[in-house]
Amino acid sequence: TLALMLALGKQLGEADRRLKAGDWRAPASTDLCGKTVGLVGFGRIAQGVARRLAGFEARVLATAPRPPAEAVPGVAFVPLDTLLGDCDVVSLHAPLTPDTHHLMDADRLARMKPGSLLINTARGGLVDEAALLAALERGHLAGAGLDVFEGEADPARRAATAALIAHPKVLATPHMAGSSREALARGNAIAARCVLAALSGTAFPDGCLVADGRTEAAAALRPGL
């Protein structure tokens, strides 16, 4: 998420294309430092993003169905429409449900601050891709950093996805946010610890997300398995 924010602001994709073509002119860029960043959703990933944004002296706004009961240092919770209108960067961190499908439709994209950036590393279906393409074409948004797309799972939507990927104001990545060597190693280790915990009947490690379908009866039978 931070990589997309930084790369979009600094126009790294455009700078790379220009220089490889022999053009040494630097594209106009924008700092992340001191900007207002909005987080739509405030689960574990958004909370991690908020902590990292502190290093950029960013003002962080967030919106969530159930904001934390206690204040979060450095984060102000506001309604979604307030967040959209105030933020230089809007980053999506919501699950995809019937209620959040096309959360960022034409109306909400139009409410975003002119010249702002949209980041989506959550789920492609949160964004109406045709509406986003239109917002970029008319210059309302300065750019979008997208790691997820509706066309990944829905062939009927691949034309809009392809148009977004090809757009010069879009920095597109192939659903790779969690695909670093380090992240995969952590995920494998967590899975192994959870398997061991399930087989031994002990508590799962802190911080693990596990759908535990065991019953007391199944747990009682485990020693004989």
Q: Which residues are catalytic?
A: 123, 152, 175
Cα-flanking dihedrals φ and ψ of residue 56, to 5°? -105, 10
Tell me which DSSP letter residue 141 carries. Answer: E
For residues 57-86, one letter each, b for 16 or more C-beta atoms within 10 angstroms of the residue's C-beta and e for the rest, the string is ebbbbbbbeeeeeeeeeebebbebeebbeb
For residue 145, which of 198, 195, 91 has the smallest C-alpha distance?
91
Rounded to whole angstroms, the Cα distance separating 109 from 106 reads 5
- CA atoms within a 13 Å half-sphere pointing along the CA-CB vector of 171: 27
Quote the CA–CA distance of 10 and 149 in Å, as a whole number: 23
State residue 36 phi and psi, 5-degree precision. Answer: -100, 120
Q: Could you tell me which residues come within 8 angstroms of residue 66 by beta carbon, excluding any fewer than 6 positions away?
A: none
